[in-house]
Amino acid sequence: MRPVICWFRQDLRLADNPALAAAQADGSPIVALFVLDDETPGIWRAGGASRWWLHHSLQSLGDSLEEIGGSLVLRRGRAESVVCGLADEMGAKAVVWNRAYEPYAIERDKRLKAALLARGIGAESFGGSLLREPWEVRTAAGTPFKVFTPYWRAGFAQWQPSPPLPAPTSLRSALADIESENLADWNLTPSNPDWSGGLRTAWHPGEPSAQFQLSGFLARLSEYAGSRDAPAAAATSRLSPHLHFGEISPRQIWHAVSSQPPSSSAEKFLSEIGWREFSHHLLFYNPQLPHAPLDPKFAAFPWSSDAEKFVRWTRGRTGFPIVDAGMRELWATGWMHNRVRMIGASFLVKQLGVDWRRGAEWFWDTLVDADLANNSASWQWVAGCGTDAAPFFRIFNPVLQGEKFDPHGAYVRRWVPELQLMPDEFIHKPWTAPSELRKGAKSYPEPIVDLAAARARALEAYRSLSAP
């Protein structure tokens, strides 16, 4: 029988994988393919932390396929050419894949489908990365949503997805000896220097680890609503990188959480899954989301070009402990607590006046869960220029935010060891501590901005947008 190529992308799992299930449906031999595509026009090349994760996730997927009789074929290059070339090489009868929603991926997949059909090769895509397709949730007028709450209520509040598909227990693999590249030759992991030690300590990529992470979160789900904003608490799911790489599906998570007793925590967590869906909804209908403000007046915003302040922000040397703790956690582990992401992003955009796109690019390179839709929508939200944005004049005070969400400084002390001995009352504003206490933290920098003056500058810059 002619084989079917199952093209893995952001769905590096066996369970609840609609494309893989379709490939198996008629008993045809299957070629499992992954393409490292850094060449498609418009592509967002994965950042360093994401490439580290991808390496280990592909290792895990390859192991899982071998356990059921398959193997993972690795190819590198422009995906259209690689997929069509392999289909010709194998005499494939069809190619199947799960959809991706980045603008370049949508255009690439359209071209690929046309090229395959022109060859007489079947081509079919499936919905495996979202709960609902972006075009399935619309306003009563038939237009895309621009605000999250009505989007959530209209599309998800009273809705249940179909049950997840089981993982296959065996795979009929194509018999031919198919050439595959060596994963190590792709150099996805850093070596000179190897900065990934913190990532290895913090994470275990792969589908089995994603399921383990979900099980652990369900055991502490009841704590979520009350503790999710406390960065020192282990209350969040930490499923975001597993979700981004498709090691677990949103449908699996939804059903697992929905199977628990009803609670405010379960409801709140599912709404966060909804925010991920909404971000993809925004990106689908606004392909300029990663690089242009959705509110056009922000195109003229007078951003600062102070390179030194940006570098100090990236290194966690701003002099504001909650911001610096977050940026150091990010550099060490490839992840940052969501509340601290908002605080750190607001500080960069509003107190330092730096263009939100520079922050988004830094997150893209350093986050293991870097997702184009989530990253872009969230930075536009913080910057006040998105469709469902926090107003620009809502400016987080990093001292007050620290005192509210890390009142005893446990999070700060973990990531800013210079302040280990600083009493709670000064932990978020160490520059106000008595001189004898400050001597013990002399390696910690002074604040790089005056908060009151920075707030005034931000508001003045905002007012200039609507000035005649």
159 catalytic? Reply is no
pLDDT of residue 391: 82
The SS3 of residue 97 is: strand
Question: Judging by beta carbons within 10 Å of its beta carbon (0-12, 13-18, 19+), is residue 452 exposed, middle or buried?
Answer: exposed
| Overall fold of domain 130-162+207-285 | 1.25.40
pLDDT of residue 378: 96
**Per-residue pLDDT reduced to its tens digit, 362-387:** 999 999 999 999 999 999 999 999 98
Q: Which of 303, 331, 361, 418 is catalytic?
A: 303
pLDDT of residue 40: 95
Contacts of 200 (CB under 8 A, 6+ apart): none
pLDDT of residue 161: 94
Backbone angle region of 5, left / alpha / beta, with phi > 0 → left and psi within -120 to 50 → alpha: beta
pLDDT of residue 174: 82
Parse the chain into domains and list their residue ranges. Answer: 4-128, 130-162+207-285, 296-463
Q: Which residue in 183, 391, 400, 379 sits closest to 291, CA to CA?
A: 379
| Overall fold of domain 4-128 | Rossmann fold (3.40.50)
- Positions in the chain whose pLDDT score sits under 50: 468
Q: Which of 152, 203, 313, 379 is catalytic?
A: 379
**Per-residue pLDDT reduced to its tens digit, 157-174:** 778 899 999 999 999 988
CATH code, 296-463 = 1.10.579.10
Q: Which of 39, 124, 181, 272 is catalytic?
A: 272
Prediction pTM value: 0.96
User: What is the full DSSP assignment across 19-31?
Assistant: HHHHHHTT---EE
pLDDT of residue 394: 86
pLDDT of residue 467: 57
186 catalytic? Reply is no
356 catalytic? Reply is yes
Q: Which of 356, 362, 381, 415 is catalytic?
A: 356
- Side-by-side strand order, sheet with 122-126: 72-76, 30-36, 4-8, 94-98, 122-126
362 catalytic? Reply is no
Q: Which residue in 312, 452, 323, 463 sits closest to 398, CA to CA?
A: 323
Q: Which of 186, 195, 275, 331 is catalytic?
A: 275
